[in-house]
Amino acid sequence: MSLISISLQIAFREPGCPICRIRQDTERRYLFHLMYEGVNDGMTRVHLVRSLGLCPEHAWALQATEQEWWHDGLGIGIIYEDLTHRVHNILSASLAQNSWARLHRPTRWRRWLEERGRMGRWLARWLPAGAPAQSLVSRLSPVGPCRACELVGESVETHLNWLVRQMADREFRERYAASDGLCLPHLRRALEIAEDEEVARFLLEVSVAKLDDLLANLKEYVRKHDWNNRHEPKYPWEQASWLRAVAFFAGEAPEGREEDVYRLRRKALTEYRARLEAS
């Protein structure tokens, strides 16, 4: 059995969108290995220099990973010392070469010509426009994508393609139908990939069934907030319905082990899945 099939079937047993779970696992593995053995790796450093580190989401996730496993910031310090040094050199060189003043000259000439009447305004149109430090800004901008985003995107695409392809297998379809199904962003992509009408229809049928259940739970969750219904029992699958709804539209939220809301969400979703398995 393919390792991709195994990882999908493991994800099917977890609460929420299975592709989101795989995305999170891929992200965690990359960030862990970056800290464990990639800080001084040459190719890794090339990627980090081209992208000027990681995107905001993954930069802070990397910091959290190092704190969780090593309770220190040495790896982050080594990576960002190099990047800080590079940016410092760019800014210092710009000041030393007086390029800032030169970058302002077109703007000053434009203003001077525009004050000289109609002919001056006509001539001013031919001067270069834009922000005075545009060339400097380009040197301070990434020239490559966040490596974590790149690898996670490749993993998501690979698993989605495999998921759609495996829908021809009856047992695989049953396992998928027993899961929470795909979130809306991943459902859209799966429908784009699906070339078989029967597969597309099956994906839609599963999603409609999941949304039927979600809508019923949401209605009960809202109804029991009414003062007249406040004494009615509140079940975990109803209490988790608003979180499930957000996750369907936006994808699964990253886990935050220190946040009460994530612990509540995990507990509620686990109890929700337990009810489905018992029924």
Let me know if residue 88 belongs to a domain. Answer: no
- In eight-state DSSP terms, residue 132 is T
pLDDT value at position 109?
63
In the chain, pLDDT over 70 holds for what percent of residues?
A: 81
Instruction: Please say which residue of 93, 116, 139 terminates a domain.
Output: 139
Which single residue is written with the structure tokens 């759609």? 164
Let me know if residue 84 belongs to a domain. Answer: no
Do 216 and 123 have their domain in common?
A: no
Between 11-20, 186-195, 203-212, 268-277, the lowest mean confidence (pLDDT) is in 268-277
Half-sphere exposure of 250 toward its Cβ, with a 13 Å CA cutoff? 9
How far is Cα 240 from Cα 134, in angstroms, rounded to an integer? 49
How far is Cα 108 from Cα 58, in angstroms, rounded to an integer? 41
Both tokens of 32, joined, read 């862990």
* Domain span holding position 113: 105-139
Between 61-75, 123-137, 169-183, 246-260, the lowest mean confidence (pLDDT) is in 123-137
Do 135 and 235 have their domain in common?
A: no
Residues in contact with 206: Cβ distance below 8 Å, sequence separation at least 6, in sequence order: 176, 177, 181
Let me know if residue 92 belongs to a domain. Answer: no
What's the domain count of the chain?
2
Instruction: Please say which residue of 139, 165, 190 terminates a domain.
Output: 139
- Structure confidence by residue, pLDDT tens digits, 179-231: 999 999 999 999 999 999 999 999 999 999 999 999 999 999 999 999 999 89
Residues 63, 76 contacting (CB under 8 angstroms): yes
Burial-class residue 45 by CB neighbours within 10 Å (0-12, 13-18, 19+).
middle
- Structure confidence by residue, pLDDT tens digits, 89-147: 988 988 887 655 555 555 666 676 677 777 777 766 655 555 556 677 888 899 999 99
pLDDT value at position 243?
86
Do 177 and 242 have their domain in common?
A: yes
